[in-house]
Structure 1
Amino acid sequence: MRYSLPKAATLALLAGALLIPAVPASAATTATTTAVTKAADPYSAFDVKVKATKAVKAGGKIKYTIVATNKGPHYADSWFVGGQFPKGVDLNKIRFGTSVKGTECYGEGRAFYCFLPQVVEVGDSISMAFDAPLKKSARGTQTATLGVVSYNVDQGMENMSKEELDRLGIPGFGFAKTVKTKVVR
């Protein structure tokens, strides 16, 4: 986290900016114009590699390993690792491993994401492992889409939650891979 402002000050500045009307109230609205905006490019693009257990018994564990390399053009300071886990996985029992201290994870529905409070320079990689236990009722092929979500945040916003970044409309970019595991009997 580089030169970060206190979170409260950043939120206050952002809230104030969102409350300022884009067009003054006295402006005439007779002419309409359509502005075409180019989609923002990611501040940090990631090359993602995901490995998963190929076959597992129902009730067993699937091990997922995610390795993500920042391809730039800038360092990444607001990013999340995880994704959508299979229907047969119990999110409440997922265990994770990483060398980054202060990692916080949360799950909802089939999504499980972790925030790793570390700046990833261009060319550097991070890795994270997940042990995801299958329910005993799991059958067929279990499909997961896992990787990294990075956000184009302004200075001082790097500690905000994924929900808050999404709510504010901060541009986010997903870099994910789909992996499959067969449930055997």
Structure 2
Amino acid sequence: MRNSLLKAATLALLAGALLIPAVPASATTATTSAAATAADPFSAFGVKVKAPKTVKAGGKIKYTIVATNKGPHYADSWFLGGEFPKGVDLKKIRFGTSVKGTECYGEGRAFYCFLPQVVEVGDSVAMVFDAPLKKGAKGTQTATIGVVSYNVDQGMENMSKEELDRLGIPEFGFKKTVKTKIVR
């Protein structure tokens, strides 16, 4: 289950979850019931995002994301990315990471990358997005970027998006909002 390509394709369809204002539940103790634990993320992430304060129109905004798995379990079903500003051309976004086999998908203003790596509790993953601005970009460009993780059990990696939705597979967004002012 850990690195199934079919799982990546299925989860890529679900990657719009970062736009949903899901907030992870607080940490639970060993005494919580199974029903209460089902609503908690298998893997909660701490997210740090860096971006420049100002950029010239037609330039690039460089977003650096560092995501740390806070647990309680390893993460194997997760995406990095988010909603990029209106002034960014998604077709021209470039990304960099040390994780081999990374696949990225963009639609609308959302751009997500599946990194086929298991992230153990306490480990971090970093990714850089170079997002070119359109020449007509102006004002303040706002991006909401971070991690989307899913509570997918073993044996569920081959299920369709419709089946995962029907079953109500939990998804969690861990995000930061960053703003960059466009200068002339």
TM-score, L = length of structure 1: 0.76
Alignment partner of 1:174: what SS?
Answer: strand
- Given the superposition, is the C-alpha separation of residues 151 and 167 from structure 1 closer, same or farther in structure 2, using an over 3 Å criterion? same
Partner Cα distance (2:91, 2:133) in 1: 11
- Given the superposition, is the C-alpha separation of residues 152 and 159 from structure 1 closer, same or farther in structure 2, using an over 3 Å criterion? same
- Assess if the C-alpha contact under 8 Å between 1:5 and 1:155 holds in 2: no
Superposition deviation, residue 5 in structure 1: 8.3
- Assess if the C-alpha contact under 8 Å between 1:48 and 1:148 holds in 2: yes
- Given the superposition, is the C-alpha separation of residues 165 and 105 from structure 1 closer, same or farther in structure 2, using an over 3 Å criterion? farther
- Assess if the C-alpha contact under 8 Å between 1:87 and 1:110 holds in 2: yes
Superposition deviation, residue 157 in structure 1: 3.8
Partner of 1:120: 119
Deviation string for 1:116-167 (max 9, x for gaps)?
0000000000000000000000000000000000000011445879898557
Amino acid at match of 1:135: K
Deviation string for 1:87-126 (max 9, x for gaps)?
0000000000000000000000000000000000000000
- Given the superposition, is the C-alpha separation of residues 184 and 6 from structure 1 closer, same or farther in structure 2, using an over 3 Å criterion? closer
Amino acid at match of 2:80: V
- Given the superposition, is the C-alpha separation of residues 76 and 169 from structure 1 closer, same or farther in structure 2, using an over 3 Å criterion? same
Alignment partner of 1:92: what SS?
Answer: helix
Partner of 1:62: 61
Amino acid at match of 2:172: F
- Assess if the C-alpha contact under 8 Å between 2:43 and 2:75 holds in 1: yes
Amino acid at match of 1:117: P
Partner Cα distance (1:62, 1:5) in 2: 32
| Structure 2 runs not aligned, ≥5 long | 11-34
Partner of 1:177: 176
- Given the superposition, is the C-alpha separation of residues 158 and 176 from structure 1 closer, same or farther in structure 2, using an over 3 Å criterion? farther
- Assess if the C-alpha contact under 8 Å between 1:44 and 1:71 holds in 2: yes
- Given the superposition, is the C-alpha separation of residues 7 and 61 from structure 1 closer, same or farther in structure 2, using an over 3 Å criterion? closer
Partner of 2:107: 108
Partner of 2:70: 71
Partner Cα distance (2:112, 2:141) in 1: 18
Partner Cα distance (2:161, 2:45) in 1: 17
Superposition deviation, residue 168 in structure 1: 5.5
Question: Percent identity of the aligned residues?
Answer: 85
RMSD: 2.7
TM-score, L = length of structure 2: 0.77
Partner of 2:142: 143
